[in-house]
Amino acid sequence: MINMFFFLMILAELVAASSQMLLKKSAGKEYPSFIREYLNVLVISGYGLLVVSMIITIVCYGGLGYMGTVVMEPINYILVMIMSRIFFKEKFTTKKIIGVLFIIVGIAVFYMP
């Protein structure tokens, strides 16, 4: 059941995680006005990447089906955790690692023959 759409879905989740990193970076800054808080390069790029991720995900519905696509969505949590460690120096906690293991086991159980 693993096919091109499986890897395309991983790409969609990587794009979504990247957009979340941009939005988090923007949230950590101070802006002189309410308008500039939402109309800046980081926010517009972040939401633009979310749209790209959504389009890729919609394409994946055709190849993976509804359940296959929904099962792949939690990969985003793993990618965000890893990227937060790299870019924001956030720590891995025991609870986060246990959560990641549950996500991986759930995906593996779904895709097992």
What pLDDT, on a 0 to 100 scale, did the predictor assign at position 10? 95
State the Cα–Cα distance between residues 41 and 87, nearest whole angstrom: 18
Residue 106 near residue 67 (C-beta atoms within 8 A): no
Read off the pLDDT of residues 78-92 as tens digits, 9 standing for 90 and up: 999 999 999 999 999
Say yes or no to pLDDT of 5 above 60.
yes
- pLDDT tens for 8-23 read 999 999 999 999 999 9
Per-residue pLDDT, averaged over 93-97, amounts to 96
Q: Yes or no: say if 96 and 48 are a contact pair by the CB < 8 Å rule.
A: no
Does pLDDT of 113 surpass 80? no
Stated pTM of the model:
0.88
